[in-house]
């Protein structure tokens, strides 16, 4: 149960969840939720600094950017309505993280498609869901794709943290669980 609360705090707080939101999402009291959030920011002060600087950038420039420079304009950040402004702040916090993730998967898809064509592989990229790619791979290309996909996906964008790639294989979706 504590792990579930910690996970909710971890993801909720970095996307702007308030103590009220945390109270609603867990069985914590409002005071416990506030203490969890305070403790989180004390333990990870860089997160608080990032969140505040991202909101400030959005207020100053009216937009936020992904690591690759793609912008999202957020005019609501200057709204006189507090609820609209706070929702815009959450958008401003969320977009650089989620947007960068989307940019990375798109770069990986382009690079994979290019390499698969270059190698004249029969494998097909069928579907992208968030940070996941689904392929249809002939048996005789399975080992090559098992090496190629993580190699290209993990190198899609050079970051100061590694991009970890997990591979699952199966003859059907039921075997993938």
**Model confidence over 72-118: pLDDT tens digits?**
999 999 999 999 999 999 999 999 999 999 999 999 999 999 999 99
What pLDDT does residue 89 have? 95
What pLDDT does residue 9 have? 77
**Model confidence over 23-64: pLDDT tens digits?**
888 888 999 989 989 999 999 999 999 999 999 999 999 999
Please count the CA atoms within 13 angstroms of the CA of 84 that sit on its side-chain side. Answer: 8
What pLDDT does residue 17 have? 86
If one compares 177 and 119, the residue with the highest pLDDT of the two is 119
- 103-176: CATH, from 3.30.750.210, 3.30.830.10, 3.90.550.10, 3.30.70.370: 3.30.70.370
- pLDDT tier at 12, thresholds 50, 70, 90: confident
Residue 129 has pLDDT above 90, yes or no: yes
What is the overall mean pLDDT for the chain?
93
Q: Is the dihedral of CA 103, 109, 115, 117 positive or negative?
A: negative
Of 9-18, 60-69, 123-132, which gets the smallest average pLDDT? Answer: 9-18
Roughly what angle, to the nearest 10 degrees, separates helices 45-61 and 82-118? 100
Domain definitions of the chain by residue range: 1-43, 103-176
- pLDDT tier at 177, thresholds 50, 70, 90: low
What pLDDT does residue 174 have? 86
**Cα–Cα distance measured from residue 156 to residue 28, given in angstroms and rounded to the nearest whole number:** 40
């Amino acid at each position: 149960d504590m792990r579930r609360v910690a996970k909710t705090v971890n993801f909720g707080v970095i996307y702007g969840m308030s103590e009220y939101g945390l109270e609603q999402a867990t069985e914590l009291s409002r005071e416990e939720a506030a203490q969890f959030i305070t403790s989180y920011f004390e333990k990870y002060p860089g997160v608080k600094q990032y969140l505040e600087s991202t909101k400030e950038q959005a207020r100053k420039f009216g937009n936020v950017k992904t690591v690759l420079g793609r912008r999202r304009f957020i005019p609501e950040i200057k709204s006189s309505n507090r609820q609209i402004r706070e929702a815009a702040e959450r958008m401003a916090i969320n977009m650089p993280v989620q947007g960068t993730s989307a940019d990375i998967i798109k770069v990986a898809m382009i690079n994979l498609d290019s390499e698969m064509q270059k190698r004249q592989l029969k494998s097909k990229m069928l579907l992208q869901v968030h940070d996941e790619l689904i392929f249809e791979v002939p048996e005789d290309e399975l080992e090559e794709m098992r090496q190629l996909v993580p190699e290209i996906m993990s190198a899609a964008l050079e970051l100061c943290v590694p991009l970890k790639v997990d591979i699952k294989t199966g003859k059907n979706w039921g075997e993938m669980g």
